[in-house]
Structure 1
């Protein structure tokens, strides 16, 4: 194994936190990985990694060497990209993570056209709304909805989602439909949404004369999953807020009723995120461009 390959291997071990995961990711025997890292440490005359029963961590020298590797490998990838012929088809596997309902409604039905254009790209698709650690989990990009914490990732805005405040038809018959925010705070209750990352219940949000206003309502149930949130609302357990596309079927069938349409929730940004630490490979670049195009038609 030459030095560049050893650097790539070392970087993947650090990013995935595991010799076995790096071996699987690079399709190498575990023995080859162990031998290569041992040789690298002997050549550098320092310990780069600390092995525990659960995880592999960098030493102080290992962290410094990893940062050098990332910059050097990015430069090498950039040079190769600059000199690569433009008519070469992007190829290889991408690991991506998408919100489940968006994937089902918009993205997966559009994939046949993507594969027709890029037949040598393979996709490993995860669906969920949790915070994914791209480097540690070996994920190339994620599509996320809402305001995002500062993560050091590159973000490309692909659009915004209109939101709507709803209650079930049964809830409206039983409790009435509030006409103002003052009515809302007089005896109504919500299906409370708890952030999967902070585990704190989030208030309902409304736009009043272009200003954001938060309303905290009592709730009989608190959930942190999108499907459970919708199911609880449809069961009449309280008022909730969704991107309009998520509530569209319930509104069309009459199971859900829109309330307070004059003071809607603020729109949610939709962003594709990928690592800033590597040169963007062609397969990721064309996928992100395709993803932006698909979302632009829907939003």
Structure 2
């Protein structure tokens, strides 16, 4: 038995919660994953995992072994990483999760610079507006706005995005231009952004001279993905609140008009987030440092 390989496989099964997902992430057949774990259990003389047809759970012995062996794996990564750092070439596979409009309008236009600087790092982007479990989904870091969902995560602030309220010229011609947030209650159609995690519509928020207000109205249309949310507004279906950078090209093209500008919501904070318990590899470190260097400050409308 290759004990070091078996330890790595056990760690990935525990982190992903599945023999299948562990095998997929390691590029290894599930039969090999299962055999390595069985061999490790036989070598130690204890049961590390409880297996059923539906789930895998970790035994107390498995948790203790995972915690202790994890330190060995991190030490090995540190050793390997130190040699990569000496050569000045971090390498390996980096998995990054990012929201739809942030990927399209911010990260992807910047990525050619990172690829030029670090040609030996392979990047997989997971693009969606849903929250991910960084451990079980095997993600190195996420780029997200808003508050932090868990104290087990570490966040490095990237800046804040300007939030705007806007609608299409066709919609405003038909429905009129509201002069205050209260006028949204007079028959205007709001296109709700619906959280993929909670299934609830995010309220419209407004701020002026330090006073903040929220408007929660029944919506006719709700969308749970940021690019589609903005597309619904461009199509004339109603009024949205969205990131200024996401709407910038449509505003320049005359497809959208910003309204209620004096009541712009407070800027929306963005972070790059990674698990507290996970070792920061050289490739993740250079990626986060690069983000802090190139991320627009602030994330706002041009001019």
- Return the TM-score normalized by structure 1: 0.89
Q: Number of matched residues? A: 299
2:162 aligned partner: 162
C-alpha separation between the residues in 2 aligned to 1:298 and 1:215?
26
C-alpha contact (below 8 Å) 2:81/2:90 kept by paired residues: no
Displacement after TM superposition at 1:192 (Å): 1.8
1:254 aligned partner: 254
State the secondary structure of the residue aligned to 1:116: helix
C-alpha separation between the residues in 2 aligned to 1:206 and 1:22?
45
Displacement after TM superposition at 1:71 (Å): 4.1
Displacement after TM superposition at 1:182 (Å): 2.8
- Superposed structure 1 runs of 4+ greater than 6 Å apart: none
Displacement after TM superposition at 1:145 (Å): 2.1
1:223 aligned partner: 223
State the secondary structure of the residue aligned to 2:236: coil
C-alpha separation between the residues in 2 aligned to 1:208 and 1:110?
33
The 1:200/1:30 distance shift into structure 2, 3 A limit, reads closer
C-alpha separation between the residues in 2 aligned to 1:138 and 1:258?
39
Establish whether residue 240 from structure 1 lines up as the match of residue 261 from structure 2.
Answer: no
1:7 aligned partner: 7
The 1:32/1:188 distance shift into structure 2, 3 A limit, reads closer
**1:16-67 deviation line (CA, Å, top 9, x unaligned):** 2222332343344544432321122123322111222243221233233323
C-alpha contact (below 8 Å) 1:70/1:278 kept by paired residues: no
* Alignment of structure 1 residues 1-299 onto 2, 5 Å: 1-78=1-78, 81=81, 86-150=86-150, 152-296=152-296, 299=299
The 1:157/1:18 distance shift into structure 2, 3 A limit, reads same
**1:141-181 deviation line (CA, Å, top 9, x unaligned):** 11112233225211111111101011221221122112123
The 1:84/1:126 distance shift into structure 2, 3 A limit, reads closer
Q: Which stretch shifts more, 137-146 or 111-120?
A: 111-120
C-alpha contact (below 8 Å) 1:162/1:266 kept by paired residues: yes
Gaps of 5+ in 2: none
Displacement after TM superposition at 1:125 (Å): 1.7
State the secondary structure of the residue aligned to 1:262: helix
C-alpha contact (below 8 Å) 1:165/1:259 kept by paired residues: yes
**1:222-279 deviation line (CA, Å, top 9, x unaligned):** 2212233222222333221011111112222222221111110121111111122122
Q: Which stretch shifts more, 262-271 or 76-85?
A: 76-85
The 1:223/1:53 distance shift into structure 2, 3 A limit, reads same
C-alpha contact (below 8 Å) 2:95/2:140 kept by paired residues: yes
